[in-house]
Structure formats: C-alpha cells, structure tokens
Amino acid sequence: MMEMMSNHYHIPVLLQACIQGLNIKPDGVYVDITFGGGGHSKEILKHLGPNGKLIAFDQDKDAAANVPQDDRLIFVPQNFRFLKNYLRINGFNSVDGILGDLGVSSHQFDVAERGFSIRFDSKLDMRMNQQSDLSAREVINNYDEKQLLFIFKNYGEIDNAFRLVKLIIEKRNEETIETTDDLKKAIKSCTPKFEESRYLAKVFQAIRMEVNQEMEALKECLSQCVEVLKPGGRLVIMSYHSLEDRLVKNIMKTGNIEGIEEKDIVFGTSKKVFKLLGSKPIIPSEDEIKNNSRARSAKLRVAEKI
C-alpha cells in the first residue's frame, strides 16, 4: 500500500542522511514527529523488522491520507508538542530514535485555500491544524502593534518591521484585511521592488509561525525528546529557520532549550546529555536544492543520548 502515497505531497529533504542519523535497529521504536507526505516514515519502515515500531505525528488532517497500511506504524493526528503523552497512551515510555523535519510541506504551500503561499490569492488562514481558532486573519487584524512587531522582527527577521506594521494597522483601520492579496496590497509601498518574493516569503513565514505557535510547540517537543529517548537513542532534527536551529543546537549541546550548561557538583565539569555527531550541520547538496528548492535553507543536526 505504500506506493499509494502521494509523490507530490512533499519531497523528503536529506532523506538518506536522516536515515543514517537514526541508526535504525530492526526491532527498535522510532518516532517521526512530522509525518507530512510520509516520505521519511516510508524509508524508516524499510529498515524496521516485523517487531519494530514507528509512531508518526501530524496535526494536519490532510496528512492522514498518506498513511500506509502497515501494522508497524501508529499514526497520531496531533501536534508534536504532545509527544510524551501520546507515546504513553500508545504504550511507549521510551524510544530508540526521533526524527523531525520542521519545514512546511509542499502540499500546504500548493493548496491555494490554505493561505500559506504568496503565489495565490486566498483567505488569510495558514493553520496547520484546521481545527485551531487562531488564523492569519486574526493575527493581522487583531494583534496590537507590539505583538506584530515582535513576530515580524523575530520570526521574519524583517528590517523595516516598523513601517510594515504601520501600513497593516492603517489598512485594517479602514477595512478588514481578509485575503493574502489584501495583505500584499496593504504593504506594497514597503515591499522592496527587486526582492518582492523574498520579502513576502519572510512576512508570510512570520505570520505562519505565530498562527501555529511553532516556536512554543518546538520548545515543548524538544524538552520531551530528552525525556523519552533511551541512552544510545538518536535525535535527528532538520530546521529551516535560525530560531529553530538555535533551539536544536541548545538541546543537543546542553540538554535544555535555554542552552544553559549544567555543572557536575563534585567535578565541576559540564553535564552532557547528548553526544553531537558532527561538528557542523548537514546541508543539502546543490543537486538536491536544484531538484527541491525548498531544501535550500535546511540544516540537519544529529545527536546521541548519553
């Protein structure tokens, strides 16, 4: 049944590097916290024996259509911030490896009505969990100036965030900003002429990260990864944003998201939770980027629980 999975939903990034990083044991228990189109999960299943298990998380209901018929796979239609709870519900207190690809799936960008893409005019939505109350429309029309500045400066890393926010507030005071085109028109005068796509991508990224509470969810998930991984278990995380990558680096270096090194009381040495596998992140080759442009900013980090 695996071949029924959509090849167009999402092309898995750095697939072989992810699988090598997991160092899969045939009878082990593994977690894919970002199932999406199932590309990474499908490859993990190839390396598992009949007694191996894979637990896959995805809060987007569209992802459920990609789940293969395989008794070794348990699909959890939830946000990965609930990792520990749903592992326990399914009878697992610890696991041998956790994989996360933090990028938005190609499918979400390509379905116009989801509102993720700058290419289409659609309602301001951007919810990965379509049951969520918070949408892009709510953020753009109801967040105050301070809140908007925070998301555009931190999540979008936008230099002219003050001007951007001023234009949004001016426009919404006249009428509600309902669609992606409404938003693009409202901020046109602060959009750089020759970098329009890049600038708008950063604006949309910032809104999406806020709508889906991506940083908060990642902090919760990474902290739980430390708890549920067995000694010798592998943490394999691919990020696409500097803030995400910083959290991943912190957790792998110090065992906490703040990046605070704990000292051994007796010896005064740093307590290590993970052994880093590689001093630098793995990045996609030029060929992979050529075949999948969304791989461009990917950084893959791998660590082993001590």
Rounded Cα distance, 46 and 68, in Å: 12
Write out the DSSP string of 228-253: HEEEEEEEEEEE-SHHHHHHHHHHHH
Q: Under CATH, to which class is 133-211 assigned?
A: mainly alpha
Rounded Cα distance, 30 and 87, in Å: 11
pLDDT at 170 over 70: yes
Q: What is the pLDDT of residue 1?
A: 32
Who wins on pLDDT, 299 or 118? 299
- Position 4 confidence tier, pLDDT thresholds 50, 70, 90: very low
Measuring CA to CA, which residue among 7, 18, 9, 75 is closest to residue 46? 18
- Position 105 confidence tier, pLDDT thresholds 50, 70, 90: low
Q: What is the pLDDT of residues 227-256, one digit of tens each?
A: 999 999 999 999 999 999 999 999 999 999
> How many other CB atoms are found less than 10 A from the CB of residue 223?
17
* Interhelix angle 196-211/145-154, nearest 10 degrees: 120
Strand positions, DSSP E, 33-83? 53-57, 73-76
Domain boundaries, the chain: 2-106+214-305, 133-211
Q: What is the pLDDT of residue 45?
A: 98
- Report the percentage of the chain scoring pLDDT > 70: 91
As beta bridge partners, residue 263 has 270
182 three-class SS: helix
Write out the DSSP string of 95-124: EEEEEEE-SPPHHHHHSGGG---SSS--BS
Who wins on pLDDT, 121 or 185? 185
| C-alpha R_g of the chain | 20
* Interhelix angle 15-22/39-47, nearest 10 degrees: 40
Options 3.40.50.620, 3.20.20.70, 3.40.50.150, 3.30.420.10; CATH of 2-106+214-305: 3.40.50.150
Q: What is the pLDDT of residue 115?
A: 57
25-55 residues labelled b (16+ CB within 10 A) or e (exposed): beebbbbbbbbbbbbbbbbbbebbeeebbbb
